Chains A and B, each alone.
Chain A
Amino acid sequence: MYRKACTTVAAAALLLVGAAGCTDVTLEPKSTVTGANVFNDPASYREFLAKLYGGLSVSGQQGPAGQGDISGIDEGFSQYMRLYWEMEELPTDEAVIAWNDAGSQELNTQLWGSSNQFLTAMYSRVYYQVGLANEFLRETTDAKLSARGVTPELAAQIKQYRAEARFLRALSYWHGIDLFGDIPLVTDADELTATPPKQASRADVYNFIVTELNAIMPDLAAPRAGEYGRADQGAALMLLAKVQMNAQVYVGQNHYSDARAALETLIASGRYTLDPSFRHLFQADNNTSPELIFTVPQDGLHTQSYGNTTFIIHAEVGGGMNAGDFGIEGGWYGLRVRPEVYALFTGGDPRGLFFTNGQTVSIDNLTDFNQGVAVAKYSNKTSGGATGSNPAFPDTDYPMFRLGDAYLMYAECVLRGGGGSQGLALQYVNDLRTRAWGSTAGNITAGQLTLDFLRDERARELLWEGTRRTDLIRFGDYTSAGVWQWKGGVKSGKATESFRNLYPLPSAELLANPNLKQNAGY
């Protein structure tokens, strides 16, 4: 008996000692990959680059929602292109939205405050892209690549990846200075730190964008020579032209000539032609269009989110529209045009893809979908009439840059004294109208080609293509000039104060980063 007791005591003591000896707490993760081992797989570089593009096309890692990239807002709302589109369209004469999501109606009237959730999320999205691109660049330095023993073939590919990452960073910085003005300039030279960055001037960031785009040009694929969906020299030239064309707004300098030169290089590449079908540019198979320079691809089976064209196509459908005609399962009753822009299409401009049945032209109630003419421009039907692969998540790619826009930009640069050919400017404008009318019936004369005409022509050609706010600011018709229904919060519309040409820096950001100074007026 006693021996047994001894055995028990000994066993217990052994257990005690054995257990007490175990003091190692660290456990390695099982189902996630860490920064320490992720690049052991050479495919990771391409997958990380894909995420930089994915930052524009999806909202998180799960699709259509789940594992969201940014927080503080509904994940569907947080999708980059959806936010950017809303920022560029809703405060303008081109669009209104019917919904009561907190802050939506403030965008319709330009009466946003600095805590508006959409502009806050847009700001976060810009820096989300910047942060990811910086991290990618820090992880792909020559030193790190050689330390990891990357093969020369892969290193050559990574060189191009790095150029694309810098393109995407420049793109977001352009959105940043266009929407918010003076913002911090954070690059891959900065490490991740808890110290908030200093505010840079709009000019600093502008110069950074231009310098970067010129620097990466040789490393990018030639126009349309690379894989579809990835940025090439065409995309970089277009972005450069967009930035320089607005230099008067951003830095008070005239760079129309530089913009014109970039556009000429782009067009002269000869790799882009106008799509014979205007509608095809906004349809489920628009990836085959020869006109598109840079898109944000979406796919019903592989690339799902509640933003991008999923948002635009669903939100444009409602009322008497048949959702099936748009290749979707049902409309979201959201977006219409204001009467002022609708009026630009009188005379039967074929680009006016409107739906009027059951819709009023004038808008008494912003939240009533039946008020304001509806738009039938974007669709999840292919040019052949088939429905896209998934009625809930269209296949339609977001046409960010296209040749048609480049033509109009060229014409505008010429008219603004940026050099170039007046004749070519008129020809480009008429090329677009000939494509629309299917004949020269809609063509204009040299005398008709004025800046005011181009302002309106851009609305006709590029309605709902996410460029209106920037255009109106460049033309000086966004705030203190220019009146449309519900601008300023009254039905007849009224001028707003010019400080609203910029969005405010988000109030949450001002608190998190005491270095920032709010934009004037807010």
Chain B
Amino acid sequence: MRRRVVLSMIAALLAASPLHAQTGQITGSVSSADGGRPLPGATVSVLGSSLRVATGPDGRYTLRGVSAGPHQVNATVLGHGPLTQPVNVAAGQSVELNFVLQPASVSVQGVVAIGYGGTRLRDRTGSVQAVTPEQFNPGRVVSPEQLITAKVPGVQVVDSNEPGGGISIRIRGGTSVSSSNEPLFVVDNVPLPVGGGISAGRNPLNFLNPQDIESVTVLKDASATAIYGSRGANGVIIITTKQGTRGPAVEYTTDVSTSSADRLPSLLSASQFRAAVQQYAPENMGKLGNAATDWQDAVIRNAIGQEHSLGISGAGQAANYRLSLGYLDQQGIVRDSRTKRVTGSLNYNQRLFRDHLNLRGSILGARNTDQFTPGGVIGEATSMAPTQAITLPSGSYFEWTDPLGTNNPIQELSLISDQGTTYRSVGNIEAQYRLPFMEALTATVRAGYDLTSVTRTIFQPSTLQSQVESGTGGSLERRNPSATNTVLDAFAHYAKPITRWDSDIDVTAGYSFEQGRNEFPTFIAQGLSSDLLGPNGVPAAKVQQEFLSINENRLISGFARMNYSLKDRYLLTLSVRRDGSSRFSPNNQWGTFPAAAFAWRVSEEPFFAKANKLFPDLKLRASWGVNGNQSFGDYLYLSNYVIGTNLAQVQFGNDWVSTIRPSAYDPNLRWEQTTSWNLGADYGLGSRVTGTIDYYVKNTKDLIFTVPVAAGTNLSNYVTTNIGSMRNVGLELGLNARVLDGGRHGLSYEASFNAATNRNQLLTINPSAAGSQQILTGGISGAVGNNIQVLEPGFPVNSFLVYRQKYSNGKPVYSDNDADMYVDVNGDGVINQDDRVPFHSPQPRWILSHTSNFAWRKADLGFTLRSYLGNYVYNNVASNLGHYDALKGAAPANLQTSVLTTGFVKPQYFSDYYVENASFLRMDNITLGYTFQPRRGVQRVRVFGTVQNVFTITGYSGVDPTAGLNGIDNNIYPRSRTLTTGVNVGF
């Protein structure tokens, strides 16, 4: 859509000829195609000049002083698509030019949502990008974040491969360590809680049906996000749902999909395993069994899925609506994982009192039913000895007699029940009133809510091997978290051209009140007298534990934003938000977050005229702003006494006393502050290419950071306080090219390229510390409590902390003596924990992506490629199972094939050998469609087929080079390749 605007601008620029001395005038009306009602407040401008005017209450306008000759005239108004028409003005004459605008929802008109209003793309001063349905990723998309993977430079979307599984988003790198780094999500004007809210265990945003989404807008720089103040530091993602735009219309989409595993861990075969045991643990030969079982294959399946989506919409004289229903059922490729969703949504918009009052309401509702693979199954399928059969001749499942042995994953799949249900509704109602006596002023009041109710039930019968081993005797755990969030916004918007100064000004100012309440009741019953009730009831239980915790938070804000544009060429945005948060003590609870941005449309300058052919559009942008981050726990500034449970009691005589514990705290806790700079340019190159460049620096100080404190100064060894600083520096490039535009052969081809790099560096942890502190992070499996990553000043967050392995002939050296294997970094003659050093990080140096779209007659073909360069992954499956000692002990475990190269006998968890370069090139999706009109009454039919995760080229040896955000590949859910075929019908 942006392209259309740019093109019309180009056309206008070429047509404009500002040198004529004599002038005439243009007059006319602007009305809506929807019933022909007049549109007051629309902006009518002569492209290529500074002439602009707003329509009056009757929708009429007059532009005076228009130079004689041909012009392109543009009319825009919120709620309708823009229109540009040619006109020929004769000197001294008046010419009539009327505009009939099509009603449209926000994104279709080149207007992007920026929070408490929208802006024309053309006028934006900050770094903002909207992604619309035609750009969305196709195929089986369960979560809305996946729609924009690889579509916006600087936005990293990391999924968990599980259908509907948790997703992390990093916009321009993370700015925090202990607080959340997820962006703020705003759905239909309702800000969601940190991370999107609560759920039964999968992505909380799954309540949204991607088919209902009209646009996903990403606010990246501080000037754009400052209007969200204390929550803007990690960017803002505004999701807007579809509205009715035209007469009664029905749209139905259905598809079916089948998924298979892409790559699985590389393990020894049964015969290799037997040979290894013979050589390294001959005492265990008698335990091996005679089977050749592929445990991976036993827990992996071809998964199927289906989706149905029905949208009914309509638009009339004074109202429009859209009603939708959706159904999704998607299995995961690991047995027992599945997600089902039923969604309904209603958007209604009513205009009253000659369009002075606009009432809007939207309600989204969903029920997500999730089935989870029991936690251990994937790892057990990796480490279970391949020489054991799944079932014994007796029909019972094979299990090792020793509790340390791997449990049979098939038994777990058959016995454990782990289900979750999430009900969620998000809605808001809005009244927008344009004052009859002051048309430029609009007052808006809206109230929104976000309600979630979750049930997660995990039942493990007493016959389950792990229950037998622990003596627990069956357990039932049921968690019922619920969340209620409400928001009230009241703001006024004033917009008026100041013709005397050839300027436009618009001001938004308002007040916002948000309150949230979460309740977390849980009960756990263990030692069940019977398994008969399963997850549905509690028989007599030996141990019963109940938990209830309630927390509340509140955010009260005042905000203001002013856009000023001079000669349609110099654009200035100033914004400020003042937030008060319940998460801080009364001394620190208010914070102010200012921002400023300036943009210069160079291509409008007379002196640039000669370059206009090459650069029909060029805008330079600069912005500065301060954002906050308060996404962490409530009440941390208070001295809390935590009451112990009845499993942590202390014996006094014959009494067991529950304990109370004062927690470490910092009463002076305050906001985390990120100050950002952004320099950018939007440009059109020739007639077919548009692009953006952005360079940014984000400095975060007063990190809310849980750090070690000097012993004796607080009530624990770590305290959450404001300390330390971090920097992100990055460059983003976006390029869109209309390579072929139909032409003689009817073939059109559009291509887009994105590239982004971000360098994250932790600058300080404790500035008053005597040296460079290290905080270990990144827990791995293999032994207990081992951490592979570190927070250390001067290095990216979560850099790997490893021994420098010595290599010989390309192979790691192995020896009983650590000194032969590893470099003695500190030269003290001893290899110990002090010799581990930071080494690479999981964050990619570059994220590249490319999208191609071909259309030829009724057929279309599109694909998306994505690449990371310079990201590193720790292969935990290899480090945990890549040593021959795993064959020893009571229950030999299968080995990862790296052991054949390394020959490691003892585990070497901290060798840099396992930190692998995981750069990759992946075709995320390819889709082929065919659109036709079978008969009258049917507007269109599109049949399509999509393959997701077509191929991945990488040197990484594990399951998936996008192994989560933290770069630790520890029996992660395997990635699936999915084929989806479907049909979309519009009536």
The residues of A with any CB-CB pair to B shorter than 8 Å are 1, 4-5, 8-9, 12-13, 15-16, 19-20, 22-27, 29-36, 38, 44, 46-48, 50-51, 53-54, 57-58, 60-64, 67, 69-74, 76-77, 99-104, 106, 111-117, 123-124, 126-128, 130-132, 135, 183-184, 186, 190, 192-197, 226-230, 287, 297, 299, 301-305, 318, 323, 329-333, 365, 367-369, 390-392, 489, 507-514
Contacts and interface: CB of A to CB of B under 8 A. Distances in A.
A35 B641 contact: yes
A67 B645 CA distance: 10
A337 B471 CA distance: 29
Nearest to A508: B708
Given A16-B443, A101-B785, A329-B470, 15 more contacts: A9-B435, A27-B552, A31-B548, A71-B718, A77-B785, A112-B832, A124-B711, A127-B712, A135-B715, A184-B711, A197-B712, A229-B651, A304-B648, A329-B469, A368-B885
Contacts of A192: 713-715
B402 interface: yes
Contacts of B833: 102-103, 106, 112-113, 115-117
A382 B782 CA distance: 34
Interface stretch (B320-328, B688-696, B905-913): B905-913
B644 interface: yes
B552 A50 contact: no
A22 B773 contact: no
Interface in B636-669: 638-662
Contacts of A287: 651
A27 B508 CA distance: 29
B645 A61 contact: yes
Contact of B403 (A69, A123, A183, A330): A330
Contacts of A128: 715-717
Contact of B639 (A34, A61, A511): A34
Contacts of A34: 638-641
Interface stretch (B381-389, B561-569, B762-770): B762-770
A190 B707 CA distance: 22
B651 A23 contact: no
A508 B775 CA distance: 8
A323 B677 CA distance: 63
B353 interface: yes
B490 interface: yes
A459 to B, nearest CB: 27
A196 B769 CA distance: 10
A330 B655 CA distance: 29
Contacts of B589: 25-26
Contacts of A25: 554-556, 580-582, 589-590
Given A330-B403, A392-B471, A29 B638 contact: yes
A106 B659 contact: no
B61 interface: no
B50 interface: no
Contacts of B590: 25
Interface in B4-38: none
Nearest to B517: A30
A264 to B, nearest CB: 28
Contacts, number: 349
B162 to A, nearest CB: 25
B282 interface: no
Contacts of B513: 19, 22
A50 B650 contact: yes
Given A100-B906, A127-B717, A228-B653, A391 B471 contact: yes
Interface in B337-389: 352-353, 356-357
A70 B718 contact: yes
B809 interface: no
Contacts of B135: none
B899 to A, nearest CB: 15
Contacts of A9: 433, 435, 443
A196 B710 contact: yes
B445 A15 contact: yes
A412 to B, nearest CB: 32
Given A20-B511, A71-B716, A128-B717, A299 B651 contact: yes
B431 A8 contact: yes
A29 B661 contact: no
Contact of B784 (A24, A101, A513): A101
B938 to A, nearest CB: 42
A123 B708 CA distance: 12
7 contacts: A9-B443, A16-B445, A20-B511, A54-B650, A61-B659, A71-B706, A330-B402
Contacts of A299: 649, 651, 656
A19 B357 contact: no
A35 B638 contact: yes
B785 A123 contact: no
Contact of A392 (B472, B634, B661): B472
B635 A32 contact: yes
B551 interface: yes
Contacts of A1: 353
Contacts of A132: 661-662, 715
A20 B29 CA distance: 39
Contacts of B907: 100
A62 B433 contact: no
A38 B656 CA distance: 20
A303 B488 contact: no
B889 interface: yes
Contacts of B786: 100-102
A184 B711 CA distance: 8
A314 to B, nearest CB: 10
B783 interface: yes
